[in-house]
Amino acid sequence: ELSTAYRERGEMTDEEVMTDEPLDAVETADPVEEGVEEGEESWNGTWRTKLFSCFIGCTEHNCAPFWMGFCCTSIMYSQVMTRMKLDFVGDPGFPEEVKNTFLYIAVLTLVGWAFPIFWLCVIVFTIFLGTRLRNYMRQKYHIPTGQCGVMEDCMCSTFCGCCSAIQMARHTHDEHTYPGELFKANGLPLNAPELDVENLYHAD
């Protein structure tokens, strides 16, 4: 009856009458970002860690990302590519292709180590992978380029490949909750959630 009286006096619209929430709450409610559930922090638009924060967070219990990034950069790329559902050349792949990403890149890396004649090929291929992966992640997470502009991905992969690999590995999952695993295809423990690449947010 009270709602009817307000409507007749023109002080409330039908839409306002239908809600049980105060008008102030309806008008000032914060929009919920698509794909981010309540209580989760969205990292779209920024990297979780800085490029040169490689040593931060490296403890005796969780040095896997650090050592993998510095000693086996291409293999760390393959782990992050597996999380991002990319094939071994950095293209979005079908599940049967993605599951071989780690294996193919690991074999190519080991061949390069075993035969010095292939070292240059492995170095160039690693820079290629790092550039494509970093560019793909920036697009998915809506991260803008820095001072190097369109050349940022290539520059980071060429001159700071180790740090770039560690930064990307730390970006997808919280390393304190899901510490790195050296010999896993995705570099994560079994309880780590799988990324929804089509609707990305941080798996905290």
Residue 55 lies in a domain: no
Question: What mean pLDDT do residues 181-202 have?
Answer: 85
Q: Are 104 and 189 members of one domain? A: yes
pLDDT in tens, 125-164: 999 999 999 999 999 999 999 888 889 999 999 999 999 9
Same domain, 194 and 134: yes
Q: What is the pLDDT of residue 158?
A: 96
The one-letter amino acid at 34: E
- Specify whether 85 is located in the same domain as 172: yes
Query: DSSP letter at 117?
Result: G
Chain segment 177-188, per-residue pLDDT in tens = 898 888 899 999
What residue has token string 């075993």? 114
In the block, tokens 């490296």 appear at: 58
DSSP SS3 for 92: strand
CA distance 98 to 92: 8
Rounded Cα–Cα distance for residues 69 and 59 (Å): 15
What is the predicted pLDDT for the residue at 146?
87
| Other Cβ atoms closer than 10 A to 170 | 22
Same domain, 21 and 81: no
- Comparing 63 with 115, which gets the higher pLDDT? 115
Q: Among candidates 1, 3, 38, which has minimal Cα distance to 19? A: 3
Judged by DSSP in three states, 86 sits in strand
Task: Inform me whether the pLDDT recorded for 201 exceeds 70.
Answer: no
Higher confidence at residue 53 or residue 13? Answer: 53
Residues 124 and 190 in one domain: yes
**Rounded mean pLDDT of the chain?**
80
C-beta neighbour count of 154 within 10 angstroms: 17
Domain of residue 18, residue span: 1-30
Q: Would you say residue 51 lies in a domain?
A: no
Q: Domain for residue 188, yes or no?
A: yes
Asked whether residue 47 is domain-assigned, the answer is no
Which one has a higher pLDDT value, 4 or 114? 114
Question: Looking at the structure, do residues 71 and 17 belong to the same domain, yes or no?
Answer: no
Residue 42 has pLDDT above 60, yes or no: no
pLDDT in tens, 44-86: 789 999 998 887 766 655 777 888 889 999 999 999 999 999 9
Alpha helix ranges (H) inside the chain: 2-9, 14-17, 23-28, 64-71, 73-83, 95-98, 101-114, 119-141, 152-159, 161-172
Helix orientation angle between 119-141 and 101-114, rounded to the nearest 10 degrees: 150
Give the count of domains, the chain. Answer: 2
Q: Is 46 among the domain residues? A: no
